[in-house]
């Protein structure tokens, strides 16, 4: 049987793709309309039997070409896996930023049909320097942005689109906001940051997900993207912004009314500021972090170690600039903050660098203070003192009706510890001593330690309260 022109062209395109070659443009009639582009894509897909998993192909179409000012169509833009089974990587054309006709169409369709969308910003928005493009996209869309622990600062805490950090409690405000959403646009999000089972809980089949990242989505029963864009993150967001403007014009943007989120955002701010001036002692975690936020400039850097304090830092310490609050939340590397702060200070000697540590995590790498003393590196280590493995205790209490195993240990006298290393140290005895201690610590020629007895009874108080939070949408 004689092959049609469409068959010949599709054979040529598929073979070229599999061999990492670029071919001449597809004839206009196969890509001019969405329906025709879709038919052609399906024909190409049918001819890819084994090597490539989840591969979609189709031309841009002439209308989109003109809008993007491309000289010729580009192909093969969506990949769920861009490697062959042999392990060989498939090359992506320079024009293939991750968006082609079908993708643009699906995304626009999702935007315009959605009633209550929300953006989930993960570590990729920070690591791939895409935060500025994200801020523009949020403004164009009028959609609120929730960040993961590692996405802090992707959108400024002062921005009306910022709905702060997700990941502490299932009843926290932003968890409830996702419950109410019908579309989640996950940008730079990695499942290891915060499991989708913890936020994709309501109407899973009806809630659409758009995955935009520089790596393919990890498919999970609770994370099945309707649209997947694998691309340079900043490039993809740039192109999306460009497409939105060309589709609806700037005068019709934003698409959604961000003012509708003001009640929720105000409630979150009030909640976060509830204990900012609490003078009880041992200190409440909220008061400690409020004082740290007052003291540190926007571009100074805070590193949080792993422990119960990490959960409080994630929720209470919010940023205006990316990479100013570093939290180990993938592998959760206990003991990283102190040595990490030395590295941060060497990279940014002009900035104040402060680590927030639990006493257990701090003692894992306390010997690194000697290095900081020897090289006169002015880092400040704030150590939360409770003499227990606080995060383990907290999790056990939640799961076992308030009960927990034996987790106590004894601490050294931190002032004596500092003296033994010929450095400055102080263990505070009232809440009002903390800010003056920070000022003194950063005046030193080398490192400094501040020990703070901490009221971790707040852990369970917060857990009990978050379960009573009502959605304010």
Could you tell me if 75 and 55 are in contact, meaning their C-beta atoms sit under 8 angstroms apart?
no
Q: Which of 366, 94, 369 is nearest to 235 (CA)?
A: 94
Cβ partners under 8 Å of residue 87, min gap 6: none
Question: d(Cα 384, Cα 259) in Å, to the nearest integer?
Answer: 38
- Tell me the torsion sign for CA atoms 105, 109, 110, 116: positive
pLDDT at 80: 31
Question: d(Cα 136, Cα 187) in Å, to the nearest integer?
Answer: 13
- Tell me the torsion sign for CA atoms 165, 169, 173, 175: positive
User: Rg for the chain (alpha carbons), in Å?
Assistant: 26
CATH architecture label of 273-466: 3-Layer(aba) Sandwich (3.40)
Question: Which CATH number does the domain 101-257 belong to among 3.40.50.150, 3.40.50.1220, 1.10.10.10, 1.10.150.120?
Answer: 3.40.50.1220
Question: In tens digits, what is the pLDDT along the chain, a chain of 473 residues?
Answer: 778 888 888 887 777 656 645 444 566 666 666 567 667 767 776 776 653 433 333 333 334 444 444 443 333 333 333 333 444 443 333 333 334 444 555 566 666 678 999 999 999 999 988 999 999 999 999 999 999 999 999 999 999 999 999 987 777 899 889 999 999 999 999 998 888 988 998 887 788 898 888 888 888 889 988 877 877 788 788 878 887 887 778 888 998 999 999 999 999 999 999 999 999 999 999 999 999 999 999 999 999 998 889 889 999 999 999 999 999 876 678 899 999 999 999 999 999 999 999 999 999 999 999 999 999 999 999 999 988 876 777 778 777 877 878 778 789 999 999 999 999 999 999 999 999 999 999 999 999 999 999 998 888 888 878 764 544 43
Question: d(Cα 108, Cα 103) in Å, to the nearest integer?
Answer: 8
pLDDT at 324: 97
Q: Burial level of 390, CB count in 10 A (0-12/13-18/19+)? A: buried
Coil/strand/helix, residue 229: strand
Q: Mark 425-451 as b/e (b = at least 16 C-beta within 10 Å).
A: bbbbeebebbeebbeebbeeebbbbbb
Domain segments of the chain: what residues?
5-79, 101-257, 273-466
Instruction: Answer yes or no: same fold for 101-257 and 273-466.
Output: yes
Could you tell me if 397 and 404 are in contact, meaning their C-beta atoms sit under 8 angstroms apart?
yes
């Amino acid at each position: 049987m004689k092959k049609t022109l469409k068959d010949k062209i599709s054979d040529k395109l598929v073979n070229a793709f599999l061999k990492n070659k670029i071919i001449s443009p597809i004839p206009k009639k196969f890509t001019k309309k969405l329906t025709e582009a879709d038919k052609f894509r399906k024909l190409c897909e049918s001819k890819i039997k084994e090597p490539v998993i989840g591969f979609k192909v189709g031309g841009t179409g002439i209308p989109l070409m003109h809008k993007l000012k491309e000289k010729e169509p580009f192909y093969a833009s969506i990949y769920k896996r861009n490697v062959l089974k042999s392990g060989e990587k498939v090359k992506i054309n320079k024009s293939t930023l991750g968006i082609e006709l079908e993708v643009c169409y699906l995304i626009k369709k999702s935007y315009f049909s959605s009633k209550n969308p929300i953006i989930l910003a993960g570590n990729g928005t920070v690591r791939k320097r895409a935060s500025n493009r994200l801020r523009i996209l949020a403004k164009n869309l009028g959609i609120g942005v929730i960040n993961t622990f590692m996405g802090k600062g992707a959108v400024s805490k002062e921005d009306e689109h910022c709905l702060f950090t997700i990941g502490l409690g299932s009843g926290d405000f932003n968890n409830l906001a996702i419950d109410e959403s019908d579309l989640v646009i996950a940008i730079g999000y990695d499942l290891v940051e915060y499991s989708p089972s913890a936020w994709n809980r309501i109407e899973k089949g009806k809630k659409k997900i758009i995955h935009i990242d520089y790596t393919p989505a990890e498919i999970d029963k609770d994370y099945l993207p309707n649209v997947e864009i694998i691309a340079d993150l900043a490039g993809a967001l740039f192109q999306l912004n460009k497409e939105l403007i060309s589709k609806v014009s700037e005068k019709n943007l934003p698409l959604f009314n961000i003012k509708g989120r003001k009640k929720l955002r105000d409630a979150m701010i009030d909640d976060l500021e509830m204990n900012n001036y609490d003078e009880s002692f041992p200190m409440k975690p909220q008061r400690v972090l409020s004082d740290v936020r007052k003291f540190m400039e926007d571009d100074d850097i805070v590193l949080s170690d792993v422990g119960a304090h990490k959960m409080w830092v994630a929720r209470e310490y919010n940023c205006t600039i990316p990479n100013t609050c570093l939290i180990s939340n993938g592998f959760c590397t206990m003991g990283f903050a102190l040595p990490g702060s030395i590295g941060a200070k060497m990279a940014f000697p002009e900035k104040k660098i402060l680590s927030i540590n639990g006493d257990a995590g701090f003692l894992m790498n306390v010997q690194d203070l000697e290095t900081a003393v020897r090289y006169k590196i002015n880092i400040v280590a704030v150590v939360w003192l409770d003499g227990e493995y606080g995060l383990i205790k907290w999790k056990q209490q939640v799961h076992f009706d308030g009960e927990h195993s034996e987790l106590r240990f004894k601490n050294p006298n931190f002032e004596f510890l500092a003296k033994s290393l010929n450095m400055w140290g102080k263990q505070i005895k009232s809440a009002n001593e903390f800010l003056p201690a920070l000022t003194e610590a950063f005046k030193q020629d080398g490192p400094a330690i501040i020990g703070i007895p901490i009221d971790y009874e707040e852990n369970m108080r917060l857990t009990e309260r978050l379960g009573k939070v009502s959605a304010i949408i």
